[in-house]
Chains A and B, each alone.
Chain A
């Protein structure tokens, strides 16, 4: 490898930072042509580890059982705001089987920016103490023995109150271009819409979990995380270790959806207790803790004002969002849709991140943009109504190929094709006829929404490939497959480049041990970041293999090609199994490593799409049934259409639930969430599933070299709720004051 350092921009969910990246000058992989006839890429393939998952053989973090392992139990605040008056750690330690007990005043061997345990908890569920014991029962007995005495302090959970009292987690931001107020004043047509969107809990079925185990000064931690390298960094920093002395394992994750970042409280606490006791420690959230403290998409109240000319040109956008942040967290880009979906020179976007006594918000699939789209795209439909314009036509007329914030062109954008295709699949032309009664007492309607999100990925991201004497390749990545199927994507790309059958390639990841770095599974960055690295590594191995084949068959390597496990010469004289060359390796292997190159300069890499929802409303019950969702997303080259469609279905169902039933409700009197369990926080069942029709433009992004893929993890959740809400307005002629469309909201809107 001929290496150089190059300075480039790394993007994650719209946040840009300059990084140095290691670039391989010897990487001469040619980008696949849009119409390249690829053997495996773009064809449906079952998951590499599907059979093991279906048989219940895979081991998640919660399944890790180590000899001598202790069980940790966490004492969490029962109140929204309180001060610990007393905590009897000695009494906990006296319980048979308890081996360690730590509280806010305990001296810990780790150091963190914010204290691990709270002497003054600021939200219900915040960890106050942890006990580690031989059995889960002993740990619970230890918790009881702590005899927590808590002084209850006043709380604020109403975002409006927090706003009135100017309680912010960060400064309110004002992103403006041009003069929206002036433009609004002179607009031909104006609409205004105010909406509430709910707090939305990720609810992965495997809760946050960690098992930590020390061997001298070396730490191994299994963590149910989307970011094992971030976890490694956090743990190394906390304990003053070299990164090399920390190994994080996360081969299988039972869902994350954004909630599982880094080491988490679980990883840090388990490691601390393991250090203190000299035994492995397991810490797993029970479901109540998961729903209280695992994270959530923050509730918002948004107001959107739009101005337009009679011809449908949007001339003014003025949006504000009050985000019920909790105690902190990254201020999600709720107003990005307002600022970038359509062309407009005069825009104002005001964001108020208010501080309330709930856990800090964290990422949940397309954070900010999903809830922002839910409101903004409804305002666009209101504008279409005011202009007497078809909603899709209004969107087409305000299309832009240039990122409205930076002024840079998009690397690729096939949104117009998405509109057309979605309209065709949904029967958009028959939209008005749909509203005619079918005699079943239901009101029907159809609505659309535009999707925008990031998806370019970027460096650093590496992979290694090793080919053995059997002609089988082992690809080592630094990624976590949280259900997205990215291991299988890497398998496909490697097999394609190596010219091997799919089942001769095995991909591993989920382990920082090999020190092959990959990005966290978030921001829809895995596929665009990692597949190019895998391909580059594979290309190097292929090159070496062909050179060796040239030696064996006494022919120039340039006259040979490999496909489907066979090496052939261009003149057809040679047609041999790969093993005829590789079996001469004996115990040696052919190795190659690859890196993701720098991002293209002068472009913004986004994904785009359109979803159309068809719904039926039962006005007597206030029930909304989603009959059909059409989803068309431009994400560049699709590596595996089978797992790609699964991502779309998953995102659509979560977006649908946000629109219909999911809402974390907080008791106003005590500030404690009332439905932080699964019995009262209803996620969809199989019976709630509408018909989901999926398509993609399948046009690789020509400005993303090597593979041409953009990320697909988040785009599908972005427009679903807006499309459903717009369909509701179409069906009933009314707009609900917020989401979800509960019975009460629907009946109120229809009254």
Chain B
């Protein structure tokens, strides 16, 4: 089915038949920041914002995503996201960087909903974004820092 997707504020017409949103983002729209790491919703590397909430784009059917506002890591380049990204760099909240776009997406949604999160709230909100390199302690610090600077 051909559908219209709204991604990062722009509309795209794509052939979405049977495809997941992640494949359309990466293969059709060349938005390569969102990653395929597991394809089963277990790691969060594919996280995008759907109407402001962080979801696994590897599970989401592109057809089901039509009519919603989709924001990828590429769309998070101003305002809070940028301060968050700065905090990630300053705190070294990343190592290989593969999971980082997903982390930033989920953290952005968290700070939007809860501007001053506790450590507990950060753990709850970020638990769906795995990091095999183990940057977690610093991811937590980066989010607290960005929240504090806001």
Q: Which residues on A are within 8 Å of B, measured CB to CB? A: 46-47, 49-51, 53-60, 62-63, 65, 136, 203-207, 252-255, 257, 286-287, 482-485, 642-643, 645-646, 649-654, 677-679, 683-687, 689, 692
Whether a CB of chain A sits under 8 angstroms from the CB of B68 is: no
Contact A652-B35, Cβ < 8 Å, known A686-B122, A686-B139:
no
* Interface residues in B114-150 (C-beta closer than 8 Å to A): 122-124, 126-140
Closest chain A residue to B99, Cβ basis:
A205
Contact A677-B96, Cβ < 8 Å, known A255-B133, A652-B134, A686-B140:
no
* Interface residues in B81-120 (C-beta closer than 8 Å to A): 85-86, 88-90, 92-101, 104
B40 touching A483, Cβ below 8 Å: no
Contact A53-B97, Cβ < 8 Å, known A650-B133, A686-B129:
yes
Q: For A56, A207, A485, A652, which residue has the most chain B Cβ atoms within 10 angstroms?
A: A56
B96 touching A253, Cβ below 8 Å: yes
Contact A255-B132, Cβ < 8 Å, known A206-B35, A686-B139:
yes
Contacts of A286 in B (CB 8 A): 39
State A254–B95 Cα separation when bound (angstroms).
9
Whether a CB of chain A sits under 8 angstroms from the CB of B37 is: yes
A54 touching B89, Cβ below 8 Å: yes
State A123–B74 Cα separation when bound (angstroms).
41
Contacts of A62 in B (CB 8 A): 35-36
Whether a CB of chain A sits under 8 angstroms from the CB of B13 is: no
A677 touching B74, Cβ below 8 Å: no
Interface size class of B (residues with CB under 8 A): 35 or more
Contacts of B136 in A (CB 8 A): 649, 653, 684-686, 689
- Chain B binding surface SS class: loop
Closest chain B residue to A692, Cβ basis:
B137
State A587–B42 Cα separation when bound (angstroms).
52
Whether a CB of chain A sits under 8 angstroms from the CB of B55 is: no
B89 touching A678, Cβ below 8 Å: no
A55 touching B85, Cβ below 8 Å: yes
B134 touching A649, Cβ below 8 Å: yes
Contact of A47 among B23, B77, B92 (CB under 8 A): B92
Could you write out 29 A-B pairs with CB less than 8 Å apart? Answer: A46-B92, A50-B88, A50-B89, A51-B85, A53-B97, A56-B74, A56-B100, A56-B104, A65-B30, A205-B38, A205-B96, A205-B98, A205-B132, A206-B35, A252-B96, A254-B96, A255-B95, A257-B132, A482-B96, A483-B97, A484-B95, A646-B92, A646-B134, A679-B42, A683-B130, A684-B136, A685-B129, A685-B136, A686-B129
Report the minimum CB–CB distance from A74 to chain B (whole Å): 15
Closest chain B residue to A694, Cβ basis:
B137
Closest chain B residue to A650, Cβ basis:
B134
Contact A255-B129, Cβ < 8 Å, known A46-B89, A55-B85, A56-B34:
no
Contact of A686 among B72, B123, B133 (CB under 8 A): B123
B33 touching A55, Cβ below 8 Å: yes
State A651–B39 Cα separation when bound (angstroms).
26
Q: For A46, A57, A59, A646, which residue has the most chain B Cβ atoms within 10 angstroms?
A: A646
